[in-house]
Amino acid sequence: MPSFLASSLALATLAWSVPPPPRPGSMTLTAPPPVARPAGGGDAGEIHPLLVDTHADTTQRIVYQGANFVGGIPGAHLDLSKMLAGRVDAQFFSIFVLPARTPPDSYFTEALAQIEAVQNMVAASKGRLAVARTASDVRDNAARGIHSVLFGVEGGHALGNVSEAKQLAHLGRLASEGVRYMTLTWTNSNPIGGSSGDDGDGRGLTEFGERLLDRMEKLGVIVDLSHVSDPLFWDAIRYARKPVILSHSNARALHDHPRNVTDDVMRACARTGGVVGLNGIGIFLGNNDSSTDAFVRHVDYVVQLLGREHVALGIDYVVDQKEVEEHMAKMRATFPPGLGYEPGVRTIPPEQLPEIVERLLHMGYAEDDLRGLLGTNLLRVAKAVWKTPTNDDGIE
């Protein structure tokens, strides 16, 4: 069977000379000649499994520094050439309004400006990129060799410092522009509920938050519970009627960090039919010097905890190395010692994804296991939630 999982064996160097024996039932993969994907975008005959990543902050570099994503961004963790090197078929671009940079009255217009900038990038890509709005779009784009661009809003404060009715209308506008998930909070609490990153960490889902979740589900926008307070998480899980995700969170059992989540939280997410998108930043993995080793460890832990159907990729590609180091230096004083906020923060680059696949294969993971992790698990959630909003959904 043609497979990126198989061909990746030739793309990276093993950390050991003799691999451990495979687990019972796993496949021994070979690398037959490549065969084009079928026109319908299905899995049969794929050159490699669909690879979807749920979180990148590269939008900030494009919008505020005029970076050329298609032509290449020196120092950035992600651009088109790096997507190609990592075989990334679809990437969520984070629409993130930094409160310290933007006046509250401009939150929503700033979110729209970021979406427009990425849309313009897609239009100028000469057909190499396309905005995807459905799971079928992602598959069909990949079948044609086109990389999908998707939008996820990071932080419900992007809905603006306006009335509740206006915030719901703003959500409809974002959905019509292609937003396919929204993180209820960032590190700042908002009218939806409390964040894990400020003194609202004891607050749960508000009455307005309940109405917002109703509207998100009607519009086909996935509820993302990364960054939220524990009370908000549990309230949202009890209230939600469709699958939810944790777009870029890791296992707190392996590394006790405020941005990571407990086993119970991950199990609850999985019970909705959702997925946990594992974060590739070393400070959240618990091993900054060897992020790849630590990431593989988190993948294996979460797969054993939840099953292969509930794990995805949410690498959290940052703007660039220098900026993340400056940010972490500022954040260091806000958390207890020993959490790893040191200079030289590492993030797994897309080019190392084939190595991660290789490592998991040699641990005994079967091809179907890794297809889910790399993309089909997330697309299953997308198929259950996403839709094209219409005027009947209250779009203005």
* Spans of all domains in the chain: 48-387
Least confident of 22-26, 63-67, 108-112, 263-267: 22-26
Distance between start and end Cα atoms, the chain: 48
Are the beta carbons of 367 and 31 closer than 8 angstroms?
A: no
Q: Can you give the pLDDT at residue 358? A: 93
So what's the pLDDT on residue 387?
83
Q: Where are the alpha helices (DSSP H) in the chain?
A: 4-7, 58-65, 80-85, 107-123, 135-143, 164-176, 207-219, 230-239, 263-271, 282-285, 291-306, 321-331, 353-362, 367-371, 377-385
Kindly report which listed range (92-101, 174-183, 322-331) carries the lowest average pLDDT score.
322-331
pLDDT at 19 over 80: no
Lowest mean pLDDT among 20-29, 129-138, 143-152, 348-357: 20-29
Residue 195: closest CA among 205, 209, 185, 204: 185
- For 63, the 3-state DSSP assignment is helix
Task: Give the residue among 261, 265, 299, 267 at the shortest CA–CA distance from 280.
Answer: 299
- Tell me if the pTM is above 0.85: no
**Does the domain made of 48-387 have the CATH classification 3.30.110.40?**
no
Q: Tell me, what's the pLDDT at 113?
A: 97
pLDDT digits (tens, 9 = 90+) for 186-227: 999 999 999 998 999 999 999 999 999 999 999 999 999 999
Neighbours of 115 (CB within 10 A): 22
Q: CA 170, CA 172: separation in Å to the nearest integer? A: 5
Residue 344 CB neighbour total at 10 angstroms: 11
Cα atoms found within 13 Å of the Cα of residue 336, Cβ hemisphere only:
5
